[in-house]
């Protein structure tokens, strides 16, 4: 597997800090960004790397040379003049194998093997590495169905609707066949000139991951990145390592409890939910929702209507700087006899809580150690679910407040609301 790193940019926004080095060479704890990228690639066995250079190219070449001192083989492509984010890919159109493309201003630590496996499994022309972030309202948002990208919502357009918080991180898997249309090395924008044209051809896929990928293109972001590297956050989030998660029920935990929530207008965040989830986002834990939604099987809410409710949840959280790493739901219901019910969803599944199918699917997807994770909910069903999965649990006094009494089970802690629950967990050392 080969990697290509775009390292030809000037880094205009960082030039006031140091105008004598290119952006990918800005130091983070005395080591350039580019070196972190190469180290992450090597940890996944990727030792063939091509670096596209331009502005102050000698600074990069003098540092890395042929890569021997870093355990890799490095070759270089020089942009004689700026070619945008994709023009230099002309020089790679004759490649035989799919490759990883990385923008040179990213601090990351990614399991590239998982990423490429997803790309090849779908036979994609290009796969985008995507994740939720804390500011989707001013980011381009990816729209996808089962991983297939169907649209990109530009941050420059007004959004008077709800949307999933899913953002392009600037990391790609590319099949050389999509580069055949580049006839000469000219200035091309990757998104506008290549990706958007491939969406209608069903060639673009989105790989969702919780791993750390963040650009350091401004002084403020550079400070955040330095802190995250220093605290070990970057390395810990790699899916090569076991993850910890805080699983959340939805109704009565994140949003106001109204019984079975059937209308999007009835969805309202509880007062401290966004703050609580923000604290998870800045912790070693993932924030993942796992919720029973039998209203689907009963024919009371369509899958599309449920998706709209979840879009509202993600949009409203995003406005307050919070995000969910993923949302899992069970649409099944074992009992028949409802008018308009969906018969094919009426069976005993393995995901309806207190069964743990949603949790094990999340664990497989994100390499989560359930024994080091927590479940927070407002019912004894939630607590029993956590117990069944070998997790720690917190019962909330919001929502049903444990009054369902379906199971005789005690939580590890009882909290007044989600914020108290999260703060208790983050202050508790799990041994």
DSSP 171-201: EEEE-GGGGTT--SS----IIIIIIHHHHTT
Nearest to 355 by CA among 385, 380, 399: 385
Identify whether 249 is a catalytic site residue. yes
Per the CB < 8 A criterion, the answer to whether 197 and 104 are in contact is: no
Quick check: 97 and 168 in contact, CB under 8 A?
no
Catalytic residue among 98, 228, 249, 382: 249
Distances (CA, A) of 167 to 27, 154, 355, 366: 26, 11, 32, 18
Cβ contact 194:188 at 8 Å: yes
In sequence order, the β-bridge partners of residue 329 are 291
The verdict on whether omega for the bond into residue 93 sits within 30 degrees of 0, i.e. cis, is no
Active site residue 369: no
Strand-pairing partners, residue 99, are 2, 174
Taken as a whole, the chain contains a residue count of: 431
Residues ≥6 apart with Cβ < 8 Å to 146: none
Distance CA 234, CA 74 (A): 24
**98, 105, 111, 251: which is the annotated catalytic residue?**
251
* Helical ranges in 44-101 per DSSP H: 57-64
Rounded to whole angstroms, the Cα distance separating 352 from 196 reads 38
Question: Smallest Cα–Cα separation from 205: which of 139, 132, 141, 118?
Answer: 118
Q: Which positions are annotated as active-site residues? A: 249, 251
């Amino acid at each position: 597997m080969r990697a290509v790193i775009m390292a030809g940019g000037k880094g205009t926004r960082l030039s006031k800090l140091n105008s004598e080095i290119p952006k990918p060479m800005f130091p983070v704890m005395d080591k350039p960004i580019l070196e972190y990228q190469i180290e992450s690639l090597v940890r996944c066995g990727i030792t063939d790397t091509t670096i596209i250079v331009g502005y102050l190219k000698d600074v990069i070449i003098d540092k890395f040379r042929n890569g021997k001192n870093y355990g890799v083989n490095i070759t270089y492509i020089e942009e004689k003049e700026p070619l945008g984010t994709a023009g230099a890919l002309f020089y790679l159109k004759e490649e035989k194998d799919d490759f990883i493309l990385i923008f040179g201003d990213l601090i990351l630590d990614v399991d590239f093997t998982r990423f490429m496996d997803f790309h090849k499994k779908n036979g994609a022309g290009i796969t985008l590495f995507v994740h939720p972030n804390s500011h989707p309202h001013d980011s381009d948002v990816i729209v996808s169905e089962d991983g297939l990208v169907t649209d990109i919502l530009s941050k420059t357009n007004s959004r008077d609707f709800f949307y999933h918080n899913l953002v392009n991180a600037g990391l790609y898997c590319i099949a050389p066949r999509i580069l055949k249309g580049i006839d000469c090395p000219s200035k091309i924008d990757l998104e506008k000139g290549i990706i958007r044209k491939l969406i209608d051809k069903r060639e673009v896929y989105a790989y969702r991951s919780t791993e750390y990928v963040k650009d350091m293109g401004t002084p403020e972001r550079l400070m955040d990145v330095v802190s995250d590297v220093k605290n070990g956050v970057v390395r810990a989030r790699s899916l090569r390592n076991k993850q910890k998660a805080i699983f959340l029920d939805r109704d009565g935990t994140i949003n106001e409890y109204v019984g079975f929530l059937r209308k999007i207008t009835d969805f309202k965040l509880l007062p401290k939910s966004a703050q609580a989830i923000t604290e998870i986002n800045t912790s070693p834990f993932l924030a993942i929702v796992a919720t029973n939604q039998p209203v689907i099987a009963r024919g009371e809410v369509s899958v599309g209507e449920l998706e709209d409710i979840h879009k509202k949840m993600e949009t409203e959280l995003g406005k307050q700087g919070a995000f969910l790493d993923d949302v899992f739901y069970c649409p099944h219901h074992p009992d028949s006899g409802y008018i308009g019910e969906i018969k094919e969803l009426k069976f005993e599944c393995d995901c309806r809580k207190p069964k743990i199918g949603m949790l094990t699917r999340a664990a497989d997807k994100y390499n989560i150690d359930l024994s080091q994770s927590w479940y927070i909910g407002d019912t004894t069903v939630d607590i029993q679910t956590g117990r069944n999965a070998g997790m720690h649990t917190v019962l909330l006094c919001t929502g049903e407040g444990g009054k369902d009494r379906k199971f005789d089970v005690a939580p590890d802690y009882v909290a007044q609301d989600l914020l108290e629950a999260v703060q208790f967990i983050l202050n508790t050392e799990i041994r």
